[in-house]
Chain A
């Protein structure tokens, strides 16, 4: 039941955000929708019992690649990129003022308190054992596979990452003419 619910949520998030990436005109919004789609794929990995791959997906994609793409979008805006951002009160775009910070703090507090209240009831009525241990942890097996059977690919990927790092630094370096 829990796995089916997670599957449905992740599938809707993945497909919906992927279609939104294709439909949206604003490249910044496309990046944000890609983030939602990648989180949905991590949820699908979790329903498949691939816990290590799901966590790696979140860390590498959401923490690395999408942030890198957002920086690239912001660095390459050029003349076409016109910011029409405006906050709720119609004020000029900025990092925030006392109203936005106050509203954010209030909403965060309400959200935190309601979550604590709701989750404490749920945790009491459904102890963790009822979910069972359907998927065993895959981390130790993946570790053994990486240093035994697939050790060549593992080492080659380290060389690939080093090459990509040096190559990216050389390509993006500002040149004096």
Chain B
């Protein structure tokens, strides 16, 4: 019953939901939530292939590094969000126009 395909379907759904969140939300923190969902979909794919196809632990290592990079990305991203809020008093994504022109 449980096969590689079921994990791939879950991963696909997570990726699409993350993409929809990234595109449709206007809140910067919500966009970061979408990025987390997409990174998790990729990590789940790595571990599933590592169990069903290659039969070694390299996928686990890669998944651990994805978690590390996601932690670093979240820390820097949220710092930027807080700085942006100090300047603009809002975190609406359409207000981020200072680098235009």
Residues in A lying within 8 Å of B, measured CB to CB: 3-4, 7, 11, 14-15, 18-19, 21-22, 27, 30-31, 34, 37-38, 41, 44-45, 47-50, 52-53, 56-57, 60-61, 64-65, 68-69, 71-73, 75-76, 78-80, 138, 141-142, 145-146, 150, 153, 157, 160-161, 163-165, 167-169, 171-172, 174
Q: Which residues of B are in contact with A by a Cβ distance under 8 Å?
A: 1-2, 6-7, 10, 13-14, 17-18, 20-21, 24, 27, 29-30, 32-33, 36-37, 40, 43-44, 47-48, 50-51, 57-58, 60-61, 63-65, 67-76, 78-83, 85-86, 89-91
Chain A residues with CB under 8 A of B64: 52-53, 56, 142
A170 CA to B20 CA in the complex, in Å? 32
Inside 8 A of A69's CB, which chain B residues have their CB? 29, 32-33, 74, 78
**A22:B24 contact, CB within 8 angstroms:** yes
Q: Is A80's CB under 8 angstroms from B81's CB?
A: no
B68 touches A34 (CB 8 A): no
Q: A18-B14, A34-B36 are in contact. Are A172 and B67 (CB under 8 A)?
A: no
A11 touching B78, Cβ below 8 Å: no
CB distance from B10 to the nearest CB of A (A): 6
The answer for the CA separation of A81 and B29 in the assembled complex, in Å, is: 14
Give me 24 A-to-B residue pairs in the complex whose CB atoms sit less than 8 angstroms apart, sorted by A's number. Answer: A18-B13, A21-B21, A22-B20, A22-B24, A31-B29, A37-B37, A41-B44, A44-B10, A48-B7, A48-B47, A52-B60, A76-B82, A76-B85, A76-B91, A141-B57, A142-B64, A160-B68, A161-B71, A164-B76, A167-B76, A168-B75, A171-B80, A172-B79, A172-B82
